Structure 1
Amino acid sequence: MKLVITIIQDDDVTKLIDKLTENKFRVTKLASTGGFLRAGNTTLLIGVEKERLDELIKTIEEVCETREVIMDPPPLTEDSVFMTEPYKVQVGGATIIVLDVERYEKV
């Protein structure tokens, strides 16, 4: 058994959870916030049998594609870098962490 911790952008969460539950994966959703863009993220905890791990990762890759967005410059503060023009940032995709589960019980 594996525990897959997946951090994705909020824009992808509904589609991914629908796809995961349709394919009989067990998933728990946690709200989280990214550090760099301070944007809404979602952390998913997914329990999966070792034999289905590749299928799970492929599903995540299919739904959570990267894309570019235009960001407005941040407000100026004393210690901030001076930026006046909007800039492109790559968002989306997924961060996937796979852990071994020594014991799993559903009560």
Structure 2
Amino acid sequence: MKLIIAIVHDDDAGELISSITEKGYGVTKLATTGGFLKAGNTTLLIGVQKEKVDEVLDIIRDVCKTRKGIVSPPAPIIGGTGVYVPAPVEITIGGATVFIIDVDRFEKI
């Protein structure tokens, strides 16, 4: 058995959970926060048999596409030469970060 840990953008989480459960897989959702942009994301825990890992990864790839987004800086920077207002920055959002871990033992009680 394998444990798939998928960290996905909040915007993709609902559709991904629906797609995974429609295929008959169980999923546990954890609300998490990313470190770089402090943006909300979702961590999903999905336990599957070893031979089903690729099928679940295909579902994740189909739903969690990368896209461009604009991030505005939080506040102007005040320095010795005046006020500097940083311009918005284009970033890539979406996609998924996935870890696949061996499970030595599984019990459903």
Shorter-chain TM-score above 0.5: yes
CA gap 1:104/1:77 in 2 versus in 1, 3 angstroms:
farther
Alpha-carbon distance between aligned partners in 1 of 2:75 and 2:100, rounded to the nearest angstrom: 37
Show the counterpart of 1:74: 74
Contact 1:68 1:90 in 2 (8 A): yes
Alpha-carbon distance between aligned partners in 2 of 1:66 and 1:2, rounded to the nearest angstrom: 25
Superposed CA deviations along residues 20-50 of structure 1, whole A, max 9, x for unmatched, are: 0000111000000001111110000000100
Deviation for aligned residue 1:83: 5.8
Alpha-carbon distance between aligned partners in 2 of 1:83 and 1:66, rounded to the nearest angstrom: 28
Flag structure 2 segments of 5+ consecutive residues without an equivalent.
79-83
Alpha-carbon distance between aligned partners in 1 of 2:40 and 2:98, rounded to the nearest angstrom: 17
Contact 2:76 2:86 in 1 (8 A): no
Q: Tell me which structure has the larger Cα radius of gyration.
A: 2
CA gap 1:22/1:32 in 2 versus in 1, 3 angstroms:
same
Question: What count of residue pairs does the alignment treat as equivalent?
Answer: 104
Consecutive aligned runs of 4 or more in structure 1 exceeding 2 Å deviation: none
Show the counterpart of 1:19: 19
Alpha-carbon distance between aligned partners in 1 of 2:86 and 2:53, rounded to the nearest angstrom: 45
Contact 2:6 2:98 in 1 (8 A): yes
SS for the counterpart of 1:26 is: coil
CA gap 1:94/1:83 in 2 versus in 1, 3 angstroms:
farther
Contact 1:74 1:83 in 2 (8 A): no
TM-score (norm 2): 0.90
Alpha-carbon distance between aligned partners in 1 of 2:9 and 2:52, rounded to the nearest angstrom: 23
Flag structure 1 segments of 5+ consecutive residues without an equivalent.
none
CA RMSD of aligned residues (A): 1.4
Alpha-carbon distance between aligned partners in 1 of 2:97 and 2:75, rounded to the nearest angstrom: 28
TM-score (norm 1): 0.92
